[in-house]
Amino acid sequence: MLRFAFPASSPFRRKTMNDPKKRIVSIGEVMIEMTRGPDGRFGLACGGDTFNTAVYLARNGVEVAYATALGDDQYSNGIVSLATAEGIGTDLILSVPGRVPGLYLIETNAAGERTFNYWRDSAPARELFELPDWSRVAESIMTARVVYFSGITLSIYSNNGLGRFLAVLEMARQKGVKVAFDGNYRPRAWKGDIARTRTVFMEALKRVDIALPTFDDEALLWGDASPQATVERLQTIGIGEIAVKNGPNPALVAAGGHQDYIAVPDVVMPVDTTAAGDSFNAGYMSARLSGQNPADAAIYGHQLAAEVIQHRGAIMPRKAAAVH
């Protein structure tokens, strides 16, 4: 089984679990997930890129809270209950009466690659930074240890919401908060407006300390020819720590003046690649916060992702996540 947990005596576990103001705040959207099984029937769960990462962070002893907005329906309540059961802080999940969360449907092919269809245009998460209580989320961001978000997070907000969010990130960094970002570019979420997407991403990247992109996404949005090109572009912006994921190929890690290609320890045949990158990010950040160097952190990320993609859906069963 995957060797990934931090022991109860770990300095990292001790620090994060006893210091609630120094936690990771993961920001974005969690939706109802419908996944087709081998028999053609659909199973009901929930997921969302930054929520998936929050789950796997929490399972590895990291103090993490999730910031989003949901409705007051049974599905929203179920998501909050799941987050609570996983040990994720729910104090930053705002509730909007009369609304329901978004929904997505996953189809996977024989190779485990997936396609998504979304129903999310009226999801309350889109208005997180425009709701009456948004300042509570902002205040918590500014006392976090790390703030984590993605390109999907950026895609759901209006220009007004984006302006508020980016301003909060700017102030948080001035207070010493580290900002981690996964580009996670989904063209449909941006309605094909590449110019706007690049503008929003550039504004976000100016406020990022740790970049965790996937090469395929970077090639699609920016035309990068290689992971090395991705690293060079992000370094030009001023980002000091970068880990470029590249599917079953080695990840390229650049930090502290060094670059290393970190191979996947054991390449496995995926059942479902959903949340592969999200779980890699959780493994990487967990290891880095525990004091591991970037190369070793990437190995942790690979190992966790390899376990996750052997199960259907974004969040593998807890019994499957047993660690030693």
Residue type at 126 in one-letter notation: R
Name beta bridge partners: 105. Answer: 34, 117
Q: Please report which helix (H) or strand (E) contains residue 122, including its range.
A: none
- DSSP assignment, residue 292? -
Catalytic residue from among 49, 182, 272, 278:
278
Residue 62 to residue 286: CA distance in whole angstroms: 7
Angle of CA points 100, 102, 103, to nearest 5° = 120
Measured from the Cβ of residue 175, the count of other Cβ atoms closer than 10 Å reads 10
Whether 73 is catalytic? no
Core vs surface per residue 28-48: b (16+ CB within 10 A) or e: bbbbbbbbeeeeeeeeebbbb
Please return the burial class of 188, using the count of CB atoms within 10 Å of its CB with bins 0-12, 13-18 and 19+.
exposed
DSSP assignments along 82-115, one per residue: HHHHTT-B-TTEEE-TT----EEEEEE-TTS-EE
24-27 and 241-244 beta bridge pairing:
unpaired
103-108 and 31-36 beta bridge pairing:
parallel
Residues annotated as catalytic (active site), given as ranges: 278
